[in-house]
A = this chain, B = another copy of it.
């Protein structure tokens, strides 16, 4: 402990006594909705769940959710329509995001370390459990989305594929953690250019990862994922160092 009579203060203190809340309810809600859009869980044209339902699922009041939606509307992400079969819809053209935006500076090594652990672990874990037909279908469909994507949509479909891998582990907590860390990485990636060669290379790696998972080969899945992540990691280190 800090000031303990026993020994020097440790950094475990920092982990346990970190803030209990990341921000206020409004900010957290905006962040989640942005996550849905940026990670490709809600694609242009999609309708978000109705306000009453969404508020319940997010655990915030409808008023707070509506404030979040309003700020997303003002930022150009969504439009709302009233009446039966109305709702809040993701815009077809999304705003090009923020030059390493609003909030505090990100700790690059911290983010990359966490990402490596979570995503290579998820790949291994997904490959070492029996997958049902819908898992197979989902993984293959998301892979195909990447292969057939142009540059403008690639980042979202890439995220969606990685999320599908996390889902295939069957662990909701792990999936949530992967979604969070990908959000952090995505914010960084959006500040650097995406080139055709990277995309082709990325697609090859995706195929190897998915093949290993579908074949139930944990070690190969982990290794393929690790290589894949190393690629973007050195890219980021290069541009942001």
Q: A-side interface residues toward B, CB under 8 Å?
A: 1-7, 10-21, 25, 28-29, 32, 35-36, 39, 41-43, 45-49, 54, 57-60, 107, 109-111, 113-114, 116-118, 120-122, 124-125, 138, 141, 160, 163-164, 166-167, 169-179, 181
Interchain CB contact under 8 A, A114 and B16: no
Copies of this chain in its oligomeric complex: 2
Q: A122-B117, A177-B114 are in contact. Are A47 and B1 (CB under 8 A)?
A: yes
In the complex, A176→B11 CA distance in Å?
A: 10
Kindly list chain B residues whose C-beta atoms are within 8 Å of the C-beta of A177: 114, 177
Kindly list chain B residues whose C-beta atoms are within 8 Å of the C-beta of A172: 11, 14-15, 18, 107, 110
CB distance from A123 to the nearest CB of B (A): 10
Interchain CB contact under 8 A, A46 and B4: yes
Q: A17-B32, A20-B28, A163-B12 are in contact. Are A117 and B107 (CB under 8 A)?
A: no
CB distance from A161 to the nearest CB of B (A): 11
With both beta carbons as reference points, the residue of chain B lying nearest to A141 in the complex is identified as B7
